[in-house]
Amino acid sequence: MTGNSYPTQISTLLTDLTYDLGLEQVVNFPTRGQNTLDIFLANGPSLISKCKPIPGISDHDIIFTETLTRVPHQKNPSRRILLWKRVDTEGLQRAVHDFSDNFVSKYSSSTDIETLWTSFLYFCVKAISDFIPSKLSSSRYSQPWVNHKVKRLSRRQRRAHKKGSRTGDPADINCYRQLQKDTKSECRKAYNFSCPRPSHRWQHVKEVVLLHKEQAV
C-alpha cells in the first residue's frame, strides 16, 4: 500500500483483516496510471468469472466483474473405509504363514528386488481385500462444520422419523420432534463455531476510520 490518505494503522488493520478473513484481492491491474486504486475482495476467487477494467469518465478506470451468486455443488466422492475391528485374524495369519513359506522357497537373495517387491505388494493388496471387510463412505455430509455429534443426532432423528411413521404412536412422534429440534440447535452451534461472523471486525475498522476523521477535523 502506498499513499498518505490514511495512517499506517488503518492500512495495517485492513491488511490483517484481509488475511484473517481469508480474502483475496481480485483486481490485479492498474486502474489509474500505474496504480491500483480499487479493491475487490473475495473469499472465493474461483467464483469470479471475469474481472477487467473498462473506460471511465476520467482517467480512473471502472472495474467490471462477473461473479456467480451460488457455489456449484460438488458431491463428495465415496471412499473405501477398512473395518479393522472385523478383521478375520485367523484367516489372515494362515495366509501370511503360507505366503512366507512360499516366498522363501520361491525366491533367493539373487532375485531382482523389483520382483520381490511386486510379489509382496500383490499379497498385501489381496490379503486386505480378502480378510478385511470394508464399506464406502457416505457423501451425505458435505458441510465442513458437521461434526460427529451432529451426525449422531441426525442418524437418531432419521430412525425416530421412520419409527414414528411406522407406529403412529404420539410418544414416538414427540420423540422425533424433540430430536429434530436438538439436531437443528446442535448444527447451528457447530456452524457458528466453525464460521464466526466477521461483522465485529468490520465494525472495528469503521470505528478506527471515524476516529481518524474526527481527529483530522
Nearest to 150 by CA among 185, 196, 197: 185
Average pLDDT score over residue span 13-29: 81
Average pLDDT score over residue span 141-159: 83
DSSP secondary structure code for residue 85 in this structure: G
Task: Please give the grid coordinates belonging to residue 17.
Answer: 483483516
In angstroms, what CA-CA distances link 94 with 97, 98, 104, 131? 5, 6, 16, 11
At residue 117, the pLDDT reads 94
Q: Is the pTM of this model over 0.85?
A: no
| Better-scored residue on pLDDT, 35 or 91 | 91
- What distance in Å separates the CA atoms of residue 114 and residue 87, rounded to the nearest whole number? 29
Least confident of 108-112, 116-120, 137-141: 137-141
The answer to whether residues 46 and 67 touch, using CB atoms and an 8 Å cutoff, is: no
pLDDT digits (tens, 9 = 90+) for 28-74: 788 777 777 777 888 777 788 888 888 877 778 888 888 877 777 77
- Where is 80: in which H helix or E strand? strand 80-82
Average pLDDT score over residue span 174-183: 92
Q: At residue 162, does pLDDT exceed 80?
A: yes
Share the mean pLDDT of the chain: 82
| Better-scored residue on pLDDT, 3 or 179 | 179
Question: Rounded to a whole number, what is the distance in angstroms from the first to the last CA of the chain?
Answer: 24
pLDDT band per the 50, 70, 90 thresholds, residue 127: very high
pLDDT band per the 50, 70, 90 thresholds, residue 124: very high
- What distance in Å separates the CA atoms of residue 128 and residue 86, rounded to the nearest whole number? 12
The DSSP result for 158-186, as a single string, is HHHHHHHHHH--HHHHHHHHHHHHHHHHH
